[in-house]
Structure 1
Amino acid sequence: MSRVVRTLTAGLIIAGALFPGVAQADVRASPEPTVTFDGAIQSMAYLGDRLYVGGDFTHAIDTAGKLVPRTRLAALDARTGRLLDWSPVADGRVRAIAATDRGVYVGGDFGSVNGLTRDNLAQIDPVTGTLAPFRHSVYGHPHAIAISGSRIYVGGTVTQIDGQPRSRLAAFDLATGALDPQWKPAAQDSVNAIVVTGDRVLLGGAFTQVNGLKNTARVAVVDPRTGAVRPSFRSTIEYAVSSLSLTGSSLYAAVAGRGGRAMALDATTGATQWTVTADGDVQSVVRVNDTILMGGHFDRICKSAAVGDKGACQEGSTTRIKLAALDPSGRLQPWLADANGVMGVEAMAASPRLGKAAAGGSFTQINGAIQRRFAQFRL
């Protein structure tokens, strides 16, 4: 299927009003032929024609079913789905990946990479897989990494870098790898997502305050040089944010809580553009052209924002298991790629240039067919 059919399947709460849907036949999506994995995927990043993945796996599984050793890190050709030779080894879970031609930066719960000490944070050559000298003592776990201009930004549960206090956020010089001594924004709880654009660093997570200021709960914007909060952006999100992605003027947020939500926010002001409610946590939202994919732990998309104490939709729903597609207005599409498992989809990545999106997690099926923990779709 070359593009998601732009028709509606259900009414949704969009920007505070109920939009009736027009019933259409579901369109079953077929993942592209690719390698899959024997353990969960928690992080992914595209770089040109390559896709880097990290998680808890110890092998990739080629299209013939052959196990190929890959220890929590792997790369594939995003055009063909073929496993690449890139094979660094991490001794613990990889939670975050950001990739540039200079290096693939990874964060997580590991103590070594390629047999050398790396305390939850490392830089790896994007072609050879060799380890770079970038090395720091990290107290806490990185959940998000972003690269922009001359800096690397890291967020998570980090409270100390190289003996220097940090409140869940830190920055490093891209050229030297040195810890930035000045950038010290303080998040009150974990930072799960970072997006950098122009003169802004957008943060998402479980925090209720950044720098002790009001209107900074769950999503906040800080200065990329000073770390000062930009007060023009105000968040009203009530539950923890798992991931963020930015396209144009829209910031897409994956939200947990009672039920779960995919949200589009005005990237400048934080005003809600639309909200889609599900019966389980949303872990990631990405956009490719005119298609927005949401992935997570949900089994249904609710027809309103009304959910019960355990997140059950109270005013009707449409079945979408772990994955769903929306149009730019947040309307549910007939694209169907039902996954399985309890955790389902844990991470997603998008390449608008290739017209592709990838989903990773703990699932082992898509639409009833075997698809172990990784799937890539052309949209």
Structure 2
Amino acid sequence: MFALHESEDVYKALVADLAYAAVPTAVMGATIVVVGSFAWSETRDPAVFAATLLGCFASLAKLVLTILQGRRNQAGVLGLAETRWIELAHAVITAFVALSVGSLGSLLFQQSNLPLQMLGTGLIFGYCAGVVARVSIRPRIAAMAILIAVLPGIVSAALFGDPAHGIVAGVFLTFLLGGMESVAHIYRNASRRITMQLQMAALARRDPLTDLANRLGLRERFDALARPAGRLVAIHAFDLDGFKGVNDRHGHAAGDALLRAIAVRARSLSRGDDIVARIGGDEFVFVQTGLTHAREAGGLARRLHAVLTEPCRIGGTEHRIGVSLGYEVAPAEAADLDTLSGLADHASYVAKRRGGGIVEAGADRGGHEKLAGLRLLAS
């Protein structure tokens, strides 16, 4: 019932949602204290006092955990290892809360006082309803909690031996099985919802034709780049010369196939945190990261130009296209996407006016334009 087939991103998103249960946790903790305090005042049973105390401290621990996890969620996406530790902490603390509820409910069922038995029933049902509603996104934790909370009550009711309590035990067992099915149903729906949200978010950041990053994906990934001191970043902007002719003579299907082939070739030269993006039509951007010297950018520009201008066979026809490429280099810690892209794009237009090839944009290390210093490197 609880076979979990979820991606790492879905798993982290579902565990992150456990942080949004502070209010239900506080309400449940207060309910345990109120019911337990009243039951202890009526029975003076040390076991009731111990179960109440356990529930109080376990609920406080869970409340602290949810608050701290919420703050970590706001700080950014958690890593897989930290997410697993948080899930384990939720499982352990939830087990102690469930043990408190189960013990308190079982002790109240053993009393001859009918109102105390009713309080025990309400406590168990209320807790399990909360678990189903809030914890089903981690179904194994939810199932464990329900079993720990309900089974002692079933046993206590069954031990009375009379028909009425036997019916109560049967009802509890029925609701236990129904709760398990509800947990599985809610988990499946939540997992599908999160998967769909992640897929939609990915689609919004990728070009569907080439599977490269689009403008939004390029900006987000560029903003997330590490900016180590002493390192450089280069932006290569290029478009295809003669691409319109391919579309006009051979149709858009051939043009699309050519764009996909260009994307594969460009991506084959990427490494590490490099970013390859299609920003529209036949326009592409290649972000080169981790450079130690500006000449590395020139080396990649020449490799890109050589690879992209190799003949491409599509549908039995060999196509030759040119590439106009401009690039600019800047210190990683001060690199601005818009400034560098503008300079590289301008350089690519200069290359196109000169018949194609490679042009390095002239820019000082502060990012100020020196377009008069454009230098033709290849054609």
TM interval, shorter chain, is under 0.3
Q: Which has the higher contact order (CA 8 A, sep 6+)?
A: 1
More helix by share: 2
- TM-score between both structures, scaled by the size of structure 1: 0.20
Structure showing greater Rg: 2
More strand by share: 1
